[in-house]
Amino acid sequence: MTRLSDHYGFEISTADPVAAKAFDDGAQSFVAWRADAIGHLNKAIEADPNFPLPRILKAWILHSARTAKFNAAVDALLEEAAPAVADAPERERALADAVRIAHEGNLRAGVSLLETHVATHPTDILAHRLLQFELFWSGESIWMRDIVERAAPAWTETTPDFAQFQAVRAFSNEEAGEYQTAERCGRDSVDREPESAWGAHAVAHVLVMQGRIDDGVNWLENLCGNWERANQIAHHNWWHLCLFLLERGEHDRILELLDTRVRNPESPLVKAMPDATIDLQNVASLLKRLELRGIDVGGRWKTIANFCAERVTDHDNPFSSAHDAIALSAVGRHDLVDELAGNMRRVGIETGPLGNATRSLGAPLVEAMGAHGEGDHERVVNLLWPIRRELAQIGGSHAQRDLFFQVLVDSATRAGRDVQLSVLLQDISGIGFRRVTERTLYRDALARAA
Ligand SMILES: [Fe+2]
């Protein structure tokens, strides 16, 4: 068998040009955050059932969806790929071993395998994309930045998918607080590839951290026409636009974008996957932020609450569980919030590092979100205060987790905890947010406490 090479120059374990082309299309789609990756990978599997790599990448994509709904599918894909993996090239074996270990709940061990691989193959953009996400969901921003910076000198403008590498580099630097490098690389990614939704996203993060509100609105409004082929990252980028609009007090526009862009039930993407984890997170996060500012969101909680109710036994992502709890609490299902927290404490004991974060951080966070919904602000502070500095370990970005700080600040002021309020505002600055006291919720909390 004469093995072929993929788009990135790596030997792949198929001699079938149709399978190789379909895998390339799927890999490039995945790397660029496009919506058609799985379709291409299915074609590759059909063309050469003994070619393990499309199954491995499909397993990675389903694993990355962060929902237990896909666990059986991930297990089946890895089992089907296993016999051929033994004789596959090093890269295929590394990708297979890493997803298996990560999917068992040890995200950092999965990353460590891929880290070794990219140390010798620093231009493997596929591996960079995958390990960035595992580190993102582990709260390991410095590690994320170190890997990408170690690889950067090996890249040139002509390396395939350089624009996508710049996007990865931008976001890792942003989360690590290196805003200049992040903005430079993110803008370069979009200059080279206007459809780069991940590059646009990284710069949006820089701008929100720095409190550059008008810059953020202009940046995203100028680019939003470029995301037609993007997957759910397009919804998340609209969510980012809403964060800036929130600071400008444009609440009606946010409500309209929620229905039409952030999660439009009539859009093909939402129809194909109405319970997509990232979409549920985006909606819950925005609705809660609006309510924290006293805005009536109408019946919009009902658009996601039923999906969240189905997830009280889904413990693939404690960050998402906290958003599920927010939605369930908003529709009065406090019984399900309690059930979710109880399940997280139990399941957390049985699984690896992800289980530790689920039990020790996720469960109290879920309880705190429920307590806020019930107006028990003393309990919110008592639950969140001891864990607030460890919350990064449940994953997500600084901008996303800011919601939990907004809830905590809201409760601290309502419970009259003025000393803790001033410490919290210092914490939020320490995370990397600039102009903290100018931000709507924090500014208003300070005014209330004065
Ligand atoms: Fe984001």
| Average pLDDT over every residue of 321-339 | 98
Question: CB neighbours (10 Å) of residue 429?
Answer: 14
Number of H helices, E strands in the chain: 25, 2
**Ligand 1: distance of its center to the CA of 238 in Å?**
10
- Alpha carbons within 13 angstroms on the beta-carbon side of residue 344 total 33
Per DSSP, helices labelled H in 193-264 are 197-209, 213-223, 233-247, 251-257
Q: How confident is the model at residue 353 (pLDDT cuts 50, 70, 90)?
A: confident
What is the pLDDT at residue 450? 76
Distance from the alpha carbon of residue 404 to the mean position of ligand 1, in angstroms: 15
Q: What is the pLDDT of residue 100?
A: 95
- Ligand 1 centroid – CA 273 distance (Å): 20
Residue 258 has pLDDT above 90, yes or no: yes
341 has pLDDT over 80: yes
| pLDDT of res. 228 | 95
The pLDDT tens digits for 425-439 are 999 999 999 999 999
Backbone angles phi, psi at 160, to 5 degrees: -55, 135
Using the predicted structure, report yes or no on whether residue 352 has a pLDDT greater than 80: no
Distance 136 CA to ligand 1 centre (A): 11
Note the pLDDT of residue 273. Answer: 95
Q: How far is the CA of 203 from the centre of ligand 1 (A)?
A: 10
Per-residue pLDDT for 3 more than 90? no
Confidence of residue 263 (pLDDT cuts 50, 70, 90): very high
11-12 and 4-5 strand pairing: antiparallel
How far is ligand 1, taken at its centre, from the CA of residue 71, in Å? 25
For position 399, what pLDDT does the model report? Answer: 98
Q: Which of 101-115, 278-292, 420-434 has the lowest mean pLDDT?
A: 101-115
Main-chain dihedrals φ then ψ at residue 12, nearest 5 degrees: -125, 155
Q: Quick check: 163 pLDDT over 90?
A: yes
Q: For residue 229, how far is its CA from the centre of ligand 1 (angstroms)?
A: 18
CA of 337 to the centre of ligand 1 (A): 25
Domains and CATH numbers, the chain: 1-139 (1.25.40), 162-274 (1.25.40.10)
Helix (H, G, I), strand (E, B) or coil at 424: helix
Examine the pLDDT at 1 and tell me if it is beyond 70.
no
Alpha carbon 147 to its chain's center: 18
Q: Is the per-residue pLDDT at 2 higher than 80?
A: no
Average pLDDT over residues 198-210: 98
From ligand 1's centre to the CA of 319, what distance in Å? 13
Q: How far is CA 238 from the centre of its chain?
A: 14
Confidence of residue 66 (pLDDT cuts 50, 70, 90): confident
- Ligand 1 centroid from CA 17, angstroms: 37
At 350, is the pLDDT very low, low, confident or very high (cuts 50, 70, 90)? low
Alpha-carbon gap, residue 262 to 270, rounded angstroms = 10
Q: What is the helix (H) or strand (E) element at residue 11, kind and residue range?
A: strand 11-12
Q: Phi/psi at 208 (nearest 5 deg)?
A: -75, -35
HSE of 372, CA atoms in CB hemisphere, 13 A:
32
Structural element, H or E, at residue 94: helix 90-103
Instruction: Tell me the CA–centroid distance for residue 45 and ligand 1, in Å.
Output: 32
Measured in angstroms, how far is the CA atom of residue 270 from the centroid of ligand 1? 19
Q: What confidence tens digit (pLDDT) does each residue in 390-424 have?
A: 999 999 999 999 999 999 999 999 999 988 999 99
The dihedral through the CA atoms of 70, 75, 80, 86 has a sign that is positive
Residue 448 — very low, low, confident or very high, per pLDDT cuts 50/70/90? confident
Q: Poorest-confidence range of 70-79, 279-288, 346-355?
A: 346-355
Decide if pLDDT at 154 tops 90.
Answer: yes
Token pair in block for residue 380: 């919110």
Report the mean per-residue pLDDT for the chain.
95
Structure tokens that stand for 171 in this block: 């976001």
Tokens 């500012």, residue?
A: 293
On whether the CB atoms of residues 154 and 146 are closer than 8 A, the answer is no
Q: Using the structure block, give the residue that is written with the tokens 């979710």.
A: 340
